[in-house]
Amino acid sequence: MPHAPATRTARPSLPEVLAGVPRTAEERWRTERMIQRVRAAAILLAIGLSLHVGGGPGGRLWVAVVVLALTLGAVELGLRRPPRIRPLQRIGVVAFCGDTLATVVTLWTIAADPTDPIVTLTLLLGVEAALRWQLGGALLGGALGSALATLWLSRAHDEMFGSPPPVEYLVFRGGSNLLLVVLVGAIVRELDRSRHHAATVLALTPELIVTLDAEDRITSANPAAGTLLGEEPADLLGRRWDELTMDARDGALAHRPAEGLLRSQLRHADGTARCFELSVRDDPGKGRRYLVGRDITARRAAERERSVSAQRYRALFANNPDAVFGFDLDGRIVDVNPAAEVLFRRSRAALLGSDALALIAPDHREQARSALARTLQGTAQEVEVTLSFPDGRVGHADADLLPIVVDGAVVGVFGMARDITERRRREASLEYRATHDPLTGLANRALLHHHLEAAAADHRRHGVLFLDLDGFKAVNDAHGHAAGDEVLVEVARRLQATVRDTDLVSRFAGDEFCVLLPQADQASVHRVGERLYSALAAPFHLDGGSVRIGASIGAALPRPDEDPAALLERADAAMYTVKEHRRLQPAGALDVPLLLAS
């Protein structure tokens, strides 16, 4: 069987690469705290250097000491507050500016010997920016550090030898400084990306994942661990594993195999016992043990239920409100309860012996076939299927497929299904209401933006017409809002009747409408706009008489890489230009149907 082609991950754009991986407030706080420790050491170094060079207070190096001390104090005050993104961003900018000023003062003071290692401060400045802002910060800090290093080397060389150093030497020192900082920034970005990926996986997995130290104390727990045990993950940290087990023998992991599967009953926060299947892996080098657990309480309950007497089974089977049915290894139905006859719209006689997949709509049989195959391999499945009824209609059902295991071998499948046709209908209705205007039935602003984004992503040539009704407020004032609603409904009908089937008409807001024209150019935009203008110029007939309204229309074609919001803004601006033109023109002047934004 040929392998499916591997899915290519879209490469990030340059702004995304420079922006780096988003960090949480806690991660930013830890980064600033780490830099703060280095800054404290730098103050001690600066004090010692000041005493060595200047011999005491009063020299320019003490300015650098004061700047570093003030920066240290300001950052420390900021870090004592609860970590939040924006304050920490401001702290980072202030701290970097303070460190830059201290570096400049130090370099300005000590510039007599080009071999002096003080130039390393420029490299540290770039590394600080890389740690804080990843690759974008590395470029900023590296460029700044390289520039400062080049200036310092030129000055120090001139002070010692009376002439500037060779240009190639400056280029090499500055370039190597920049490349090293960029390398650090790239490494930091990749580490953040790996940490972000791992944190995302841990947060999304539904299984319990905990780490234990050598004394079986919990050192980390993912969100699912807290959910499955009814506690906050932070409350689990530091507790011994045997405190969570219902049986002391289950908690003695030290006497269990280093790796393998085991079953254990864990204590939920509400006092109940939950059965878990645990996978244990040891990391002797770090003295850690990893546990991955799946809650199999429901599965164990199902296993116990299937072991009850035949009489009880038949009673539950027959009276179950859910459809219950059994398959053999060939997928043939061997038993059904009355609820299954109702769900499948077929009699028991017609169902017995028939192919279970024949009950599924043709377009969904492959999904059902795959789920059935996995169940026959011993793995319970949950699947949503589309049913095909004898009268040609279709329905929807949620089905649980459970393997029937006898002496360790799968001999068949039990299925339990619930009719969700009405739920699917309600969901479809809610989705329609979320994307359409309830009065006119037109697409709403959200659906318009969705289509605009799709057109922009596919790089399709498209156009937008932005319409605002003229004189609509007078209709509302003179005839009431009910009459105004009639006019809006009729406007929607005329717009849809005028455009092509492939065009999208939407009610943007109030008496504003938008028309999205796929595969449009200037000529087609003008042509459709003039037709819309003419369609809305005809009188509107109400119970109280006829009224006339007009429309001011602005149009726009997308510019390269223009987002939908900007495209709509230009069309909106063109519409208001038309409206203002009409307001300023004398009566009888030549009217302009629409204006295409430049």
Distance (Å, whole) CA 485 – CA 542: 11
pLDDT of residue 4: 45
pLDDT digit string (tens) for the chain, length 598 residues: 444 444 444 555 555 555 556 777 787 888 888 887 888 777 777 777 777 665 444 467 777 778 878 888 888 888 888 888 888 888 888 888 888 887 888 878 777 777 777 778 888 888 888 888 877 877 888 888 888 888 878 888 888 877 888 888 888 888 888 888 888 878 888 887 888 787 777 778 888 888 888 888 888 888 888 888 888 888 888 888 888 887 665 555 544 554 567 888 888 888 888 888 888 888 877 778 888 888 888 888 777 776 655 566 666 677 778 888 888 888 888 888 888 888 888 888 888 888 888 888 888 888 888 888 898 888 888 888 888 888 888 888 888 888 888 888 888 888 888 888 888 788 777 888 888 888 888 988 888 998 988 888 877 788 999 999 988 888 887 788 888 888 899 899 999 999 988 899 999 888 899 999 988 888 889 999 989 998 988 888 887 778 888 889 999 999 888 888 898 999 999 999 888 888 777 655 556 678 888 7
Fold entry, domain 436-596: Alpha-Beta Plaits (3.30.70)
Residue with tokens 């071998």: 409
Single out the residue of 179, 197, 177, 201 nearest to residue 189, CA to CA: 197
Single out the residue of 565, 303, 593 nearest to residue 456, CA to CA: 565
Single out the residue of 502, 561, 564, 508 nearest to residue 528, CA to CA: 502
- The residues of the chain that CATH labels 3.30.70.270 are 436-596
Count of residues making up the chain = 598
For the record, the structure tokens of 418 come out as 């619930």
pLDDT of residue 59: 63
CATH superfamily of 308-424: PAS domain (3.30.450.20)
DSSP string, 305-331: HHTS-HHHHHHHHHH-SSEEEEE-TTS
- The residues of the chain that CATH labels 3.30.450.20 are 205-300, 308-424
CATH superfamily of 205-300: PAS domain (3.30.450.20)
Given a contact cutoff of 8 angstroms between Cβ atoms, the answer to whether 385 and 357 are in contact is no
